[in-house]
Structure 1
């Protein structure tokens, strides 16, 4: 469950000029022809660097994204929802493993990626640094956050780097089931008691700003979009992806009788795009750089999990063979 492209790190595009012109031209011609770039193929260092950053960030987002929903497994209403949410969280962790494997093909080890996450060097999606206070918050994540992720991932699955595209194909197939689960939970709340409807309305009010941040900074201030789209690492700009999400899901929210906490939100008849209040990008920047409501808590959970699992990894890597004493 990931929007994509949401970080404020800078890009030194002048490094492209240091590449071999003939190789760079052939590389770009291959991308223009719609060919996939594979791990053994030549690629510009900036392409490799941007892919590692983007895929690694996506993997971290899947791992951290499992945490706010994971807290609701034992408290989900009913045994069937507990089982479904448990399976969903397990899927999200599995998605992270697929993505770490894809990123490893570019030369960065999984161990280093995990260490960079725990240390705060690597980023992950802003939206997972907010608390899920109620079951309705978990429903918002399962329906609308996963919907936003699918919008982004379906586009990027048509991108230029083979291992990432193949991972996204599988991830999107599983995310479609997550989306159905979330929609079913929301419909139950929307057709329930007034208190249940109020719970989900309050969840929308809490999560709408992080949801608008989810697709990354506005194109006019994004530092990555141009080069990522040039090489088809990203297939849609942040603003276009955000607009597509609004196109698909704002009418569904309104149809259920809920309101969205943005008085400026409306479809512009002339442009065909949505007008909305410009998100607070300073809040976004602050959260993505470690100063959100749950940043420290989320990373501490990952640090503890890494420490507790160390003995298993060391046992698997041990060069000593295991012997079983035969029965007499």
Structure 2
């Protein structure tokens, strides 16, 4: 977008009109460009939540690093955890640039997480008690994330779109890693296959919730209309959920597994999956940090953040000295 003196002389209404024309033309908005507060704030919320979810999402799998059944699996899950943490750091830098006009930094993002003001994805509040869970997180949770994130590869905000390009490429490998674990278990002993079925049964409702409510009336809050309006995404939550069903329901069934929703079927006439809605009241409680592992993982993140304060202080001192 233009940052010339002539642009600065425009009224707020004229700037908004110019901004929307850029969005509609498919132009990228950069960090230093003029943008309406609504756009900036929805991006900060979205990208901060995404970044924190990448970091918090590494914790369920981190629990399986010392318990992975083979050295190869251990190395694979260690690499995945490292990638997820890197994704989080990358995204928080993007969010931090957006926060500069408000005088805020990543410190505020972390404090918002600890206070409960900043949410992280519902799936990362859940327990992962078996190796089947570790595989399912990689296969279906990361699979759901890929569907969501590829929908934003063309996001109007350039820094986010570029970050997503790298993240999505790595998430494909993560999904393949999870699928390999699931395939090995599904083709193994009856006990191993039972681990996968048990994981699918326990995670199914959370996977449906992953994409968010169909509308604001479901949970009282939804920003999907705003993000579509500004070209940050192109599909609704329900469209993304339907894409997930189309891709993964046949794969789940092909392994001889059962879906925990016996009412589910594909309506040929409507060309959509009919399914049992998850308990959205449970979703609201989970994202308020009342999930099975919410407090334990937040405490782990808090302890890590406090223990590494000296590193941040040292780096800050070096920057000031330089």
Query: What is the TM-score when the length of structure 1 is the normalising length?
Result: 0.90
**Which whole-Å deviations, capped at 9, do the CAs of 1:141-196 have from their partners, x for residues lacking one?**
01000000000111101110000000000000101110111111111011000000
Separation in structure 2 between the aligned mates of residue 289 and residue 312 of structure 1, nearest angstrom:
30
1:217 Cα shift? 1.0
**Which whole-Å deviations, capped at 9, do the CAs of 1:185-216 have from their partners, x for residues lacking one?**
11101100000000100000000000000001
1:168 paired to 2:160: no
- The equivalent residue for 2:119 is 123
- The equivalent residue for 2:3 is none
1:27 paired to 2:19: yes
1:319 Cα shift? 5.6
- The equivalent residue for 1:280 is 279
Separation in structure 1 between the aligned mates of residue 210 and residue 54 of structure 2, nearest angstrom:
13
1:40 Cα shift? 1.0
1:296 Cα shift? 0.8
Q: Which moved more, 1:233-242 or 1:168-177?
A: 233-242
- The equivalent residue for 2:7 is none
- The equivalent residue for 1:239 is 238
**Which whole-Å deviations, capped at 9, do the CAs of 1:83-130 have from their partners, x for residues lacking one?**
000000000000001100111120241111111112211011011001
Question: Secondary structure, in 3 states, of the residue corresponding to 1:267?
Answer: strand
1:72 paired to 2:71: no
- The equivalent residue for 1:211 is 207
Question: Secondary structure, in 3 states, of the residue corresponding to 1:274?
Answer: strand
Separation in structure 1 between the aligned mates of residue 90 and residue 233 of structure 2, nearest angstrom:
18
Separation in structure 2 between the aligned mates of residue 150 and residue 34 of structure 1, nearest angstrom:
22
Separation in structure 2 between the aligned mates of residue 157 and residue 312 of structure 1, nearest angstrom:
33
Aligned residues: 304
Separation in structure 1 between the aligned mates of residue 216 and residue 111 of structure 2, nearest angstrom:
32
Alignment CA distance shift 1:199-1:314 (3 Å):
same
Q: CA RMSD, aligned part only?
A: 1.5
Going by fraction, where is helix more abundant, 1 or 2?
Answer: 2
Separation in structure 2 between the aligned mates of residue 320 and residue 129 of structure 1, nearest angstrom:
36
Question: Secondary structure, in 3 states, of the residue corresponding to 1:106?
Answer: helix
Indicate which of 137, 150, 157 corresponds to 2:153: 157
1:234 Cα shift? 2.2
**Which whole-Å deviations, capped at 9, do the CAs of 1:59-92 have from their partners, x for residues lacking one?**
0100000000100011111000000000000000
**Which whole-Å deviations, capped at 9, do the CAs of 1:219-269 have from their partners, x for residues lacking one?**
363531111100012221100000001000000000010001001111111
Separation in structure 1 between the aligned mates of residue 249 and residue 320 of structure 2, nearest angstrom:
58
Indicate which of 12, 31, 48 corresponds to 1:56: 48
What residue ranges of structure 1 are gaps of 5+ in the alignment? Answer: 1-18, 323-328
Q: Which moved more, 1:172-181 or 1:228-237?
A: 228-237
Question: Secondary structure, in 3 states, of the residue corresponding to 1:76?
Answer: coil
What residue ranges of structure 2 are gaps of 5+ in the alignment? Answer: 1-10
Question: Secondary structure, in 3 states, of the residue corresponding to 2:98?
Answer: coil
1:317 Cα shift? 2.0
Within-5 A mapping of 1:92-171: 92-107=84-99, 108-171=104-167
